């Protein structure tokens, strides 16, 4: 065993290998999280809507019912009450424990990737899991992908933090967790891998570093999640195997292109309504804890109103919860719903989702987007079939393509959406029309997006701000820039004084030097926080007792190109600069701010 240990260590120390190995663990946890989340959603639905309101929402063919269906009489007013209480409980959970768990989740992961160094608090996954299960399970309009994406991403982020990996590795594992969550809950591993790479940007760009780790995590997550399904459901797409259609002729691309115009208009309305509701909700003079209850209650009232408007048609209640049962009718037998009901469900789903999620409720926006796009697509298909039956022979084909086109435009993610729709319907024969409509919607919907934290492209992301720098600063060294002068701790500094510094300093890392000014090590904020409660040890604890070595140091002769590379790998975001010819005398800290200042100066010159 001793002979193999160095080889295993060397193998694991390679960054790419390490990420791929850890992606397997991320995938397992994401798959377990998806299974737990689906169970919780169905349990909440069974214990509330089915037991007390007598409402048993239709489920898609490929999703097993884990609890026996209720046999109670449907009581509409009770559904409104339960949905409102669900919004209240969700709001209290989120805003009392982890406010960043509000909303649709995916945007928070994108923000953490670009601007938050891949950090997500450890408490977020549990809060998101419970709040989303309560929101969706009690009838709030939302999808499952946002919560499970944030759950998987949070695990990847915190595992990387605990293992003290670099910021780059933490970002990759966070994205892999998001992809694994998507791939698991929708049983679409290929789409999950591409989604995490594509969703980061508004333009036609991808985060290539995350594709392979996300693919591995997504496959493992899908395999793990499937083990909790009955055998007959394990290889079945979410919407079953009955949605298999083919284009009758290439002439059908013309009405499909016209449908893209309808989908783009609906996408504009969706995004404007969603974020308009966010602004309106923020202006309400109420504590944020109670706003999700108002939003969920109003959404339920809209659902009940639609139910009675269409003569107690249960399909009208697809505007609540996931709405997958109504969507499956649009995919398999659209004529039984009719154009009127399909259009009403699509536009009412925009309103109910905005009320539920934008008010602070917890849930995803991809699931509702599928319902909106699928119902609008089916309505367009029925319309064109009525006037051009020789060209449009299968209206349901338009529903499948509509699902992809609507979200591709709204989320700026055409490729992953095409893959997603193909995997969840089990229909790979429509890649041509799906790609056609998704591409058109991607172009037509260029002015808006569901995910406001997306950046335009890699070149505008803070993650890649140094990608072009080495060629610009190839001849510059650290001695050419001004270092940051930080608060320095002496080795005999007592912990009492160090703790006092926490109230006056914005530093997260303090260099420790000896009496001659030579660098000894570092003390970080993470080391100090656990000692806040044990004040009895402060007078007898000194900086030398807490000091840990820096992972790396630099000198004045270090090229800036190398320093940039080292900063990208360093978990602290700062690196000390020393003078090796003067007994490692501490000179100052190098940060990304100095690098950017030098870049801007060089650019002006």
Least confident of 67-76, 90-99, 439-448, 461-470: 461-470
Reading the block at residue 403, the tokens are 């699902």
Checking if the pLDDT of 540 tops 90, the result is: no
Tell me whether strands 509-513 and 489-490 are parallel, antiparallel or unpaired: parallel
Could you report the per-residue pLDDT of 473-507, keeping only the tens digit for each? 656 788 888 787 788 889 898 888 888 877 777 78
Determine the pLDDT at residue 535.
79
Could you report the per-residue pLDDT of 386-397, keeping only the tens digit for each? 999 999 999 999
Fill in the DSSP letter of residue 365. Answer: S
Checking if the pLDDT of 1 tops 50, the result is: no
The mean pLDDT of 597-603, rounded to a whole number, is: 58
Confidence bin at 72 (pLDDT 50/70/90): confident
The mean pLDDT of 563-572, rounded to a whole number, is: 76
Mean pLDDT (the chain) is: 89
Determine the pLDDT at residue 4.
55
Full-model pTM = 0.80
Determine the pLDDT at residue 541.
87
Checking if the pLDDT of 465 tops 90, the result is: no
Domains and CATH numbers, the chain: 14-233 (1.10.3080.10), 250-455 (1.10.3080.10), 465-604 (3.10.580.10)
Tell me whether strands 519-524 and 509-513 are parallel, antiparallel or unpaired: antiparallel
For 276, other C-beta atoms within 10 Å of its C-beta total 12
pLDDT cut 90: percent of the chain above it = 59
Could you report the per-residue pLDDT of 357-408, keeping only the tens digit for each? 999 998 999 999 999 999 999 999 999 999 999 999 999 999 999 999 999 9
| Closest-CA residue to 509 (of 496, 527, 497) | 527
pLDDT cut 70: percent of the chain above it = 93
Checking if the pLDDT of 346 tops 50, the result is: yes
Determine the pLDDT at residue 58.
83
Could you report the per-residue pLDDT of 77-130, keeping only the tens digit for each? 999 999 999 999 999 999 999 887 787 788 889 999 998 889 898 888 889 899
Checking if the pLDDT of 44 tops 80, the result is: yes
The residue assigned the tokens 């609507």 is: 406
Fill in the DSSP letter of residue 317. Answer: G
* Residue 488 phi, psi (nearest 5): -110, 140
* Secondary structure tally for the chain: helices H, strands E: 23, 5
Determine the pLDDT at residue 604.
47
Checking if the pLDDT of 472 tops 80, the result is: no
Reading the block at residue 125, the tokens are 């996954």
Checking if the pLDDT of 330 tops 90, the result is: yes
């Amino acid at each position: 065993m001793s002979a193999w240990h160095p080889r295993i260590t060397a193998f694991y120390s390679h960054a790419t290998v390490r990420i791929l190995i850890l992606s397997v663990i991320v995938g397992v946890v994401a798959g377990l999280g998806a299974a737990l989340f689906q169970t919780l959603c169905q349990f909440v639905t069974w214990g509330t809507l089915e037991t007390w309101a007598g409402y048993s929402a239709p489920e898609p063919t490929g999703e097993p019912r884990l609890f026996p269906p209720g046999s109670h009489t449907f009581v509409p007013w009770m559904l409104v009450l339960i949905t409102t209480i669900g919004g209240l409980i969700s709001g209290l959970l989120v805003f009392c424990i982890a406010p960043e768990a509000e909303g649709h989740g995916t945007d928070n992961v994108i923000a953490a990737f670009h601007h938050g160094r891949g950090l997500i608090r450890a408490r977020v996954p549990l809060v998101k899991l419970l709040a989303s299960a309560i929101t969706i399970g009690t009838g709030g309009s939302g999808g499952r992908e946002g919560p499970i994406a944030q759950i998987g991403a949070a695990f990847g982020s915190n595992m990387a933090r605990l293992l003290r990996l670099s910021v780059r590795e933490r970002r990759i594992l966070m994205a892999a967790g998001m992809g694994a969550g998507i791939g698991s809950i929708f049983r679409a591993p290929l789409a999950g891998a591409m989604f995490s790479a594509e969703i980061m940007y508004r333009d036609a760009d991808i985060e290539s570093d995350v594709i392979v780790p996300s693919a591995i995590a997504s496959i493992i997550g899908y395999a793990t999640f499937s083990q909790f399904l009955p055998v007959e459901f394990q290889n079945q797409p979410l919407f079953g195997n009955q949605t298999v259609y083919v284009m009758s002729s290439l002439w059908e691309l013309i009405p499909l292109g016209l449908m893209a115009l309808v989908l783009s208009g609906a996408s504009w309305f969706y995004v404007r309504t969603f974020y308009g509701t966010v602004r309106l909700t923020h202006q309400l003079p109420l504590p944020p804890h109670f706003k999700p209850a108002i939003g969920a209650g109003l959404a339920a009232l809209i659902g009940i109103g639609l139910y009675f408007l269409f003569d107690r048609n249960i399909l009208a209640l697809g505007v609540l919860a996931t709405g997958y049962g109504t969507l499956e009718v649009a995919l398999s037998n659209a004529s039984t719903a009719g154009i009127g009901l399909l259009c009403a469900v699509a536009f009412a789903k925009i309103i109910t989702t905005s009320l539920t999620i934008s008010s602070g409720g917890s849930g995803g926006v991809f699931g509702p987007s599928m319902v909106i796009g699928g119902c609008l697509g089916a309505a367009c298909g029925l319309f064109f079939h009525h006037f051009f039956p020789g060209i449009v022979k299968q209206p349901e084909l338009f529903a499948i393509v509509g699902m992809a086109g609507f979200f591709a435009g709204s989320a700026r993610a055409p490729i992953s959406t095409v893959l997603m729709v193909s995997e969840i319907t089990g229909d790979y024969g429509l890649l041509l029309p799906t790609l056609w409509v998704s591409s058109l919607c991607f172009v037509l919907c260029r002015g808006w997006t569901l995910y406001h934290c997306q950046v335009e492209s890699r070149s505008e992301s803070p993650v890649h701000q140094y990608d072009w720098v080495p060629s610009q600063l190839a001849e510059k060294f650290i001695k050419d820039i001004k270092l940051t002068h930080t608060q320095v701790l002496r080795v005999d500094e007592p912990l009492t004084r160090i703790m006092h510094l926490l109230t006056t300093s914005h530093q997260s890392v303090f260099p420790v030097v000896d009496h001659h000014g030579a660098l000894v090590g570092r003390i970080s904020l993470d080391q100090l926080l656990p000692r806040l409660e044990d004040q009895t040890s402060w007078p007898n604890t000194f900086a030398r007792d807490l000091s840990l070595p820096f992972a790396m140091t630099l000198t004045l002769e270090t090229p800036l190109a190398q320093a940039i590379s080292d900063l990208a790998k360093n978990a602290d975001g700062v690196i000390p600069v020393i003078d090796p010819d003067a007994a490692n005398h501490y000179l100052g800290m190098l940060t990304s701010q100095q690098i950017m200042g030098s870049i801007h100066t060089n650019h002006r010159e």
